[in-house]
Structure 1
Amino acid sequence: MDDAVTLRDAQDFDGADAPAAIAPVSTAERIDTLDFIRGLAVMGILAANIVAFGQPFEAYMYPTAFLTDPGDPGGWMWIAQFILIDGKMRGLFTVLFGAGMYLFMEKAWARGATRKLQAWRLAILMGFGMVHFFFIWPGDILFYYALFGFLVLPCMKWAVKTQLRVGIAGYILGAVLIGGSLTMPFLIAETPFGTSSPQLAKERANMLASVDTMIAHGEVPNAAIAAGDYGTLVAYRFTEQWYEPLANALLFGFETFPLMLIGMALYRMGFFSGGVARGKLLGWGWAGMMAGGLAHLAIGLLVQSYGFSFWSTQAAFVAWSTLPRLAMVLGLAALLVAYAPGATGWLGERIRAAGRAAFTNYLGTSVVMMFIFHGWALGLFGELNRPQLYIVVVSTWVLMLAWSKPWLERYRYGPLEWLWRCLTYRSLFPLKK
């Protein structure tokens, strides 16, 4: 392939409506490895988000924001999650989203559809994201996945090497820009650099004082969750938090857009379907995991030396870990592709089923967390420490694995997967096999 986009390709983006014969891909057309990785990713996302479900959002990075004792002496569980989970599952899911976009269009093009179908599909996903954000949980990723999916659409006809190069270069550029912007606040607030001049000392004092203000910003929604005041919670999101989906898109855009391109390129290279030798996958995978993991460990120990302060944890999560996270995300993807064919036992099959119903599992998990933590249900918000929250994670994993396979043995799709398909094609498809 070359880098040029032909006239027909350009017309494909704005072209005529798709013929009536267009329909979703069948089960036989699915890529087994993608389902397996997607299943692990959707399970891992819960492990990454559990603190933000059960404690104030700020506690996701900043342990002091826990409403109870974190139950993590020395912060070693914080470090372990930082190394193994945080950002890795989101990154893996983003790579899979890019691969899935191209897989969808590959099948759609074969049926005579255009990228207008993908645009409509993304618009529906954006709607799901808005419902998720305002009515269920404000940690939604679907909105900005859809938003950056629109930006990726014009890039789908690029040559595969162009997609890969632009994706990697864009990711590195974003890491440098964000790294610089968040390292400076840390240097001012947490190191002697912040006292090297009267002006910096004044800025340092303002920054340290602002931490309490930022933590206090969550008092209203936290109180509403604990009290079970759902009406106040939703109203607050509409009036005070409405801008956060766009803010999150700006924050994670330098990661999301490049990773989607990388995922698209990897899919086209046959990365997920046997196009890369298993030995190479294992070599690249373990090298990426080890190098990225050691870098994360060094960052975690640095944050520990600063007492898990607000500015050090923020810099670690958003800035310093960005580049080593790319190595771990791609390394993990390579290892999972290599090991997935051998995961043929009962657990592997259930993980694949969870991946086939990943959309339902993602949104369904947020609903389950409402029943566990909101005051109108079990009311455990702010009550559980980190080890106890991990018990919730494992229990919910069991639930995911328990329902997905039996459901898909009787039905063609997960419930939300079926709804998304019906809305995408504006047709009612049979659900039961």
Structure 2
Amino acid sequence: MDEPEPHAGPPAPVARAERIVALDVVRGIAVLGILLANITAFAHMRAAYYWPPALPGGAQASDEWLWLAQFVLVDGKMRGLFAVLFGAGLALFAERAVGIAGLWLQARRLAWLALFGALHFVLLFDGDILLTYAVAGLIVLPFLHRSLDFAVLGLIWAMIGALVVAAAYFSAAQLEWQAVTTAPGEAWLSVEQAWQARLAEYAAEAQVHLSGTYADVAAMRLADLPSHAGDAVTFVFFETIPMMLIGVGLYRAGLLTDSAVRRRWRRAAWVGLLAGAGVLAVTGLAVMDRGFPIYQTQFAFYGVAGLANVPFVLGAMVLLTDWAERAREGWLAERLALAGRMAFSNYVGTSLMMMLIFDGWAGGRFGTMHRGELLVVVLLGWALMLTFSRVWLARFRYGPLEWLWRCLTYWRRFPLRR
């Protein structure tokens, strides 16, 4: 794809013919995968997202093995893919919208995304990532025109950030291990009491989802928004920003757009993916064997996984883009590309669908389904996303939220119908 000439007037949005189809395909994979990653958070109390014993009646054997598979292949990976893609998108936008006018246009675009993210958090789902990506993007934005090796900078930053997060979780996990192997000390009793208090908070939140009205649930999320923003600071700084920088670097190096460049990195991509998966598999099996002690599980889920996910995501990004480029004319890649072109609408739409299935005031399935049963819901969501994207884009130029975002960004109304 040729780089467009600098704009003499206001920058224009990317035309359909200028899209990088392989990135749309990977974006489609990521938006489907994020539903699988989030399904437990939609259906259960927060702790069940990473801790199988929080499931109703405790975890069954199938729950534990499905947790392991998701831990190795999905959790944190879709979020990482989205961050890399988002960084590539920032770089692509910066190529097309040059100068101060382009910088302000992209800042306005990200500011609107932040507003969408806050609304999504309050109205639909407290696991929102849009606000996080918008804030991270605004921080990355001023550096896009600097001569930096973004991929190397992002990789070093990501690994240091993952080490910092792992160290934060290690101390409690170590106390827990010592309490099991020797007599529990006062430090461990204090940590255990803190977890029981947190678990009680999660149970209270779950009760609102079970028996509250929609207004009750939305009010609870609104009250949680400031603390969510505070918690997101660490997440933004140690994970999202460095992965976005890597995305900028990979795009500018041609790894996401040039098949010849990707071929040179294919072996390294496989090494990164398999090394990350191997570390996660060994770690997950160890946690399972010990019966999912809470702090060791958290250390595995957020600490070890934070380190192993970096090479996994980078390898997956290169390999998936390579496959997408070769398979772009096939029916599967075509469907995934359509879902990727509507990733914003699909992401928010699945939050709406899951809320209607699980919350007590609607479908009432909250806290009732095990992981195997939730896979059926995920497959239903995937089928709807793939079908809806194809039907919608056959009639309209953009997804509904993509169109609204464009209109607000450029502050003019674009034609929607074909």
Q: What TM-score comes out, normalization by structure 1 length?
A: 0.90
Q: From 170, 173, 181, give the equivalent of 1:183.
A: 170
Q: Note closer, same or farther for the CA distance 1:367–1:68 as it changes in structure 2 (3 Å cut).
A: farther
Q: How far does the alpha carbon of each residue in 1:401-432 deviate from its partner, in whole angstroms, 9 at most, with x for none?
A: 00101211211100000000000001011001
Q: Which runs of 4+ in 1 moved over 3 A?
A: 18-21, 68-74, 192-196, 275-279
Structure-1 residue corresponding to 2:32: 43
Amino acid at match of 2:119: V
CA contact (8 A) 2:211 2:361 kept: yes
Q: From 183, 189, 192, give the equivalent of 1:205.
A: 189
Structure 1 distance, partners of 2:239, 2:264, is 25
Structure 2 distance, partners of 1:156, 1:140, is 25
CA contact (8 A) 1:194 1:204 kept: no
Structure-2 residue corresponding to 1:302: 286
- Is 1:321 equivalent to 2:297 in the alignment? no
Amino acid at match of 1:263: G
Structure-2 residue corresponding to 1:165: 152
Structure-2 residue corresponding to 1:151: 139
Structure 1 residue 222: Cα displacement: 1.3
Q: From 321, 342, 347, give the equivalent of 1:357.
A: 342
Structure 1 residue 340: Cα displacement: 0.8
Question: Secondary structure, in 3 states, of the residue corresponding to 2:56?
Answer: coil
Structure 2 distance, partners of 1:46, 1:22, is 34
Structure-2 residue corresponding to 1:385: 370
Structure-1 residue corresponding to 2:73: 84
Tell me how large the CA RMSD over aligned residues is.
1.9
Q: How far does the alpha carbon of each residue in 1:93-148 deviate from its partner, in whole angstroms, 9 at most, with x for none?
A: 100000001111211128x8321111111110000010011111100111111111
Structure-2 residue corresponding to 1:72: 61
CA contact (8 A) 1:65 1:215 kept: no
CA contact (8 A) 1:98 1:260 kept: yes
Structure-2 residue corresponding to 1:234: 218
Q: From 86, 110, 114, give the equivalent of 1:126.
A: 114
Question: Secondary structure, in 3 states, of the residue corresponding to 2:185?
Answer: helix
Q: From 399, 409, 414, give the equivalent of 2:384.
A: 399
Structure-2 residue corresponding to 1:342: 326
Structure-2 residue corresponding to 1:331: 315
Question: Secondary structure, in 3 states, of the residue corresponding to 1:406?
Answer: helix
Amino acid at match of 1:262: I
Aligned length: 411
Structure-1 residue corresponding to 2:91: 102
Structure 2 distance, partners of 1:234, 1:361, is 21
Structure-1 residue corresponding to 2:3: none
Structure 1 distance, partners of 2:260, 2:80, is 21
Amino acid at match of 1:372: I
**Structure 1: runs of 5 or more not aligned:** 1-17
Q: Note closer, same or farther for the CA distance 1:281–1:401 as it changes in structure 2 (3 Å cut).
A: farther
Q: Note closer, same or farther for the CA distance 1:240–1:285 as it changes in structure 2 (3 Å cut).
A: closer
Amino acid at match of 2:117: G
Structure 1 residue 246: Cα displacement: 2.6
| Bigger shift: residues 169-178 or 352-361 | 169-178
- Is 1:287 equivalent to 2:287 in the alignment? no
| Bigger shift: residues 28-37 or 65-74 | 65-74
Structure-2 residue corresponding to 1:268: 252
Q: Note closer, same or farther for the CA distance 1:361–1:104 as it changes in structure 2 (3 Å cut).
A: same
Aligned identity (percent) is 41
Q: From 237, 240, 248, give the equivalent of 2:232.
A: 248
**Structure 2: runs of 5 or more not aligned:** 1-6
- Is 1:174 equivalent to 2:161 in the alignment? yes
Structure 1 residue 67: Cα displacement: 2.6
CA contact (8 A) 2:30 2:81 kept: yes
Structure 1 residue 240: Cα displacement: 4.4
Q: Note closer, same or farther for the CA distance 1:25–1:238 as it changes in structure 2 (3 Å cut).
A: same
Structure 1 residue 180: Cα displacement: 1.1
Structure 2 distance, partners of 1:56, 1:142, is 21
Amino acid at match of 1:368: M
Amino acid at match of 2:66: M
| Bigger shift: residues 276-285 or 378-387 | 276-285
Amino acid at match of 2:393: L
- Equivalent residues in 2 for 1:12-51 (5 A)? 21-51=10-40
- Is 1:115 equivalent to 2:100 in the alignment? no
Structure 1 residue 44: Cα displacement: 0.4
Q: What TM-score comes out, normalization by structure 2 length?
A: 0.94
Structure 1 residue 309: Cα displacement: 1.6
Question: Secondary structure, in 3 states, of the residue corresponding to 1:321?
Answer: helix
CA contact (8 A) 1:228 1:379 kept: no
